Structure 1
Amino acid sequence: MAALFAGCTGPTAEPGPTALPGPTQSSTQTSERPSPPPPSGSPSGSASPPETPSGAVSPGEATAEPTPSPTPEPPPGSPDLSLVAGWSLQEKVGQIVIVGLPVAGPFQPTFDMLRDQKIGGVFLHGRTTAGRQPVKDLVDAAVDAAARGREPLFVATDQEGGAVQVLRGPGFSDMPSALDQAEMPASDLRAWSRRWGAQLARVGVNLNLAPVLDLVPQETAASNEPIGVFGRNYGYTAESVITHGNAFAQGQRDAGVQTSIKHFPGLGRVTGNTDSTVGVTDTVTGPDNPSVAVFEAGIESGSGLVMMSSAIYTRIDPDAPAVFSPRVVGLVRELGFDGVIMSDDLSATAQVEKVPAGERAVRAVGAGVDLVLASARPSVAPAMVDALIRAARNDPAFAAKVDAAAARVVAAKAGV
């Protein structure tokens, strides 16, 4: 732990996945970076029998077995509730919260939450150049702290590349930005992503909150604070984002690391960053916008998780941030997605700061979110857990949503 602490850079209260990335350092001696390739195009009627009296059976005739009615297919998003049958409410709620584990410390508060509140996931946040072994030691300690839980931990991080790369140093490649990745042939990008994913898997990270599938118009990229300013987008067209974003995601999954495409239904049309700005609003994106179609392609490609934006989308639901809107969250299910819908960080984002922390979690799950992320300020996670338990005890309909969410998370952990 001391080695990791000493090798970390950046503030201990690191902003979440859509935050303004802080300066980072990397180890040039051991890091790998693909040589910038030249721009290239995108890769990927019979007769009736004699009557027999009702209820009678003709002599010698076998009684026919009734033809069973086909079992109706469950609607999209319906989980297998048997996965959490017999679980306590505390255990189910723990599965639907993922808490920050600062790579620069302190570590013990998060370890205590894993033990005491049965939280089922950690998010490695901050910045470190310490390299593979100290990160693996930290992950092993987190897994040990949660050892009495029913399910293995989700161990997540942000390893997009460019300005957003939590883990650096010996054992981690120096990853180019998504904008640079989009210059590679898709087959090459998938191969590089498989290598980057294997580096995560070696230290116990099994979930990368990437790739960014936000569609950013080139003419407004310089004013798009959360994505365009930092080159987090896979080019400027839907074709490029789909081709290269999916190639990155497939490479990660090839290495055994699950992916969460983000930030539905897209942050490419906003100017402010929801982590640091209040009232971030998109007045362009509607249900049939190309931004939504990009996410549909990401879902069809096989991503097991989708992260919600915290912006407001006036053409879908003008009355609530997407993460709190049943209408916007429901749109993900309408695309045929039956996996885990997760929030962006709800612990310290300015967009929802006026809502008490516990209520943020309740509103998100009530809207249909399955996994609540409390990364930048992990200290609020206990309040979220307590609020979710209270809401489930007081409202059977909400309790059913908790059951469904926990079942989806458990299924995702099993790779179902």
Structure 2
Amino acid sequence: MTARPRRPGAGRPAALRSGVPLVTMMLAAVACGTPAAQARPTEPAGAPAPSALVTSPTTCVDRVYNGMTQAQRIGQLFMGGVSASRPSATDLRTLRDHHVGSVMLTGRSSAGTKATRKVVDGFRGQADTVSGRRVGLLVATDQEGGQVQVLSGPGFSTIPNALTQGGWSTSTLKSRAAGWAGQLKSAGLDLNLAPVADVVPASLGTRNGPIGRYYREYGHTPETVTSHTGAFAAGFKQAHVMTTFKHFPGLGRVIGNTDTTANVVDSVTTTTSSYLTPFKAGIKAGAPFVMTSSATYTKIDAHHIAAFSPTVIRKLLRTQLGFKGVVISDDLGQAVAVRSFTPGQRAVNFLSAGGNLILTVKPSTVPAMTQAISDRMRTSAAFRADVADSVHRVLLAKVSAGQLSCG
């Protein structure tokens, strides 16, 4: 997400075969029982699949997908936010009733690792079982450091802000990140919605509302941000916790914060900007998740915010940069940047643009979002293909996280 900090002082998917895009058949064929890095094909999404990799859709992920009801498939497209300290029964019931497959811990908790693990274990039982296989929940949070650290207390380190981390050697950062990841793992989490790969120019600094104001950037040059986001992600990978490079294609050159401001515009970044380098490097290293921003990039696609832009997601992120993992949105539940769209429009627009996992910190928006997706699936074969592709990508991430057994 762009931030939930404490304020200072307070292209279409490939043609379907048996209802499953070829790219996801390739992914599923090699994913089960293999490391995440091996689960991604070398061909861009939508490219012809080598015949040796096109196997029967009776592989693990395909079997789970084929055994799901439509409601269960749609539920896998969501990550719903719940309080890290005390999730409300109403929110949990909403997520359960709509088969929501991923959960984000939000707000602040100082209860420590053991208490957090108890909270997480308490709602993991909501996960669906499909064809005899438990499709576990992906559990995530914002654990960047500085003013954006959701979980603290006994067992959790106090993580400094990213600008401080950026002053360390990459070996030091990798080592400490592995420790922070281990703490999340012990608390029952699978995914960190970090690192921030946005580059804030020194000339803009704290005038940059979403990142610079809170010292969330690793540095002021693409080189420093690239090396240190890479070290952070490598440390987390070492501890078997997934990471998310955000906020693509970058929030470092804007003024407004998309959480609290409408019509945030970047009029500088292009598809060849050096400020994309941290994302390129993260993708090359096997980043499992990339989060899109909710700003508009006039030199890339002046007509859509990035989260709703096929040009940003399908053309730039998927085709040009070759990203094979899960594209997750920034918050589409209560962020001011998307308030002019109904919840249903937000969900459909994101998936239609090529996004895969809808993040909403407001579970009450889920019913309208799932209904809109279901309605669009009835009328659009292309949209049904988008949904199939997205569910497969999410399920493969769950294999990597150990939340879906392919043994």
| TM-score interval, smaller chain | 0.7 to 0.9
SS at match of 2:330: strand
Q: Is the 8 A contact 2:195 2:246 kept in 1?
A: yes
CA distance in 1: counterparts of 2:258 and 2:367, whole angstroms: 23
CA distance in 1: counterparts of 2:329 and 2:356, whole angstroms: 8
Match of 1:370 among 352, 356, 361: 356
Q: Is the 8 A contact 2:326 2:356 kept in 1?
A: yes
CA distance in 1: counterparts of 2:355 and 2:122, whole angstroms: 28
Q: Which runs of 5+ in 1 are unaligned?
A: 1-16, 26-72
Match of 2:317 among 313, 325, 332: 332
Alpha-carbon displacement from aligned partner over 1:26-66 (angstroms, at most 9, x marks no partner): xxxxxxxxxxxxxxxxxxxxxxxxxxxxxxxxxxxxxxxxx
Q: Is 1:122 aligned to residue 103 of structure 2?
A: yes
* Comparing 143-152 and 323-332, the one that deviates more: 143-152
Alpha-carbon displacement from aligned partner over 1:69-100 (angstroms, at most 9, x marks no partner): xxxx8852359873623422111111111100
- Which structure 2 residues correspond to residues 296-375 of structure 1 after superposition, within 5 A? 296-330=280-314, 331-334=316-319, 335-375=321-361
Which TM-score applies when normalising by structure 1? 0.81
SS at match of 1:410: helix
Q: Quote the residue 1:85 is aligned against.
A: 66
Match of 1:225 among 184, 209, 214: 209
CA distance in 1: counterparts of 2:151 and 2:383, whole angstroms: 37
1:24 Cα offset (Å): 9.5
CA distance in 1: counterparts of 2:393 and 2:253, whole angstroms: 30
CA distance in 1: counterparts of 2:256 and 2:348, whole angstroms: 25
Matched to 1:109, the amino acid is T
Which TM-score applies when normalising by structure 2? 0.83
Instruction: Classify 1:74/1:86 alpha carbon distance in 2 versus 1 (closer, same or farther; 3 Å).
Output: farther
Q: Is 1:388 aligned to residue 373 of structure 2?
A: yes
Q: Is 1:168 aligned to residue 152 of structure 2?
A: yes
Matched to 1:332, the amino acid is L
CA distance in 2: counterparts of 1:352 and 1:147, whole angstroms: 30
Instruction: Classify 1:244/1:222 alpha carbon distance in 2 versus 1 (closer, same or farther; 3 Å).
Output: same
Match of 1:379 among 342, 353, 364: 364
The Cα RMSD (Å) is 2.0
Matched to 2:296, the amino acid is I
Q: Is the 8 A contact 1:115 1:148 kept in 2?
A: no
Alpha-carbon displacement from aligned partner over 1:285-323 (angstroms, at most 9, x marks no partner): 010001222211111122100000000000000001000
Q: Is the 8 A contact 1:114 1:146 kept in 2?
A: no
Matched to 2:330, the amino acid is D
Q: Quote the residue 1:144 is aligned against.
A: 125
Q: Is the 8 A contact 2:236 2:242 kept in 1?
A: yes
Q: Quote the residue 1:68 is aligned against.
A: none
Match of 1:184 among 164, 168, 171: 168
Matched to 1:77, the amino acid is A
Q: Quote the residue 2:2 is aligned against.
A: 18
Instruction: Classify 1:24/1:415 alpha carbon distance in 2 versus 1 (closer, same or farther; 3 Å).
Output: farther
CA distance in 1: counterparts of 2:87 and 2:182, whole angstroms: 27
- Aligned residues between the structures: 353
Q: Which runs of 5+ in 2 are unaligned?
A: 10-40, 50-56, 402-407
Alpha-carbon displacement from aligned partner over 1:337-367 (angstroms, at most 9, x marks no partner): 1110110000001111010011100000000
CA distance in 2: counterparts of 1:321 and 1:128, whole angstroms: 32
Matched to 1:388, the amino acid is I
Q: Is 1:414 aligned to residue 399 of structure 2?
A: yes
Q: Quote the residue 1:67 is aligned against.
A: none
Q: Quote the residue 2:388 is aligned against.
A: 403
CA distance in 2: counterparts of 1:209 and 1:87, whole angstroms: 27
CA distance in 2: counterparts of 1:166 and 1:310, whole angstroms: 22
Q: Is the 8 A contact 1:323 1:367 kept in 2?
A: yes
CA distance in 2: counterparts of 1:191 and 1:75, whole angstroms: 32
Determine what percentage of the aligned residue pairs are the same residue: 43
* Comparing 265-274 and 382-391, the one that deviates more: 382-391
Q: Is the 8 A contact 1:299 1:337 kept in 2?
A: yes
Q: Quote the residue 1:10 is aligned against.
A: none
Q: Is the 8 A contact 1:111 1:146 kept in 2?
A: no
Matched to 1:381, the amino acid is V
1:106 Cα offset (Å): 4.3
CA distance in 2: counterparts of 1:242 and 1:292, whole angstroms: 9
CA distance in 1: counterparts of 2:240 and 2:3, whole angstroms: 26
CA distance in 2: counterparts of 1:145 and 1:221, whole angstroms: 43
Matched to 1:317, the amino acid is D
Matched to 1:374, the amino acid is T
Q: Is the 8 A contact 2:113 2:156 kept in 1?
A: yes
Q: Quote the residue 1:54 is aligned against.
A: none
Match of 1:266 among 241, 250, 256: 250
Q: Is the 8 A contact 1:20 1:273 kept in 2?
A: no
Q: Quote the residue 1:248 is aligned against.
A: 232
1:413 Cα offset (Å): 1.2
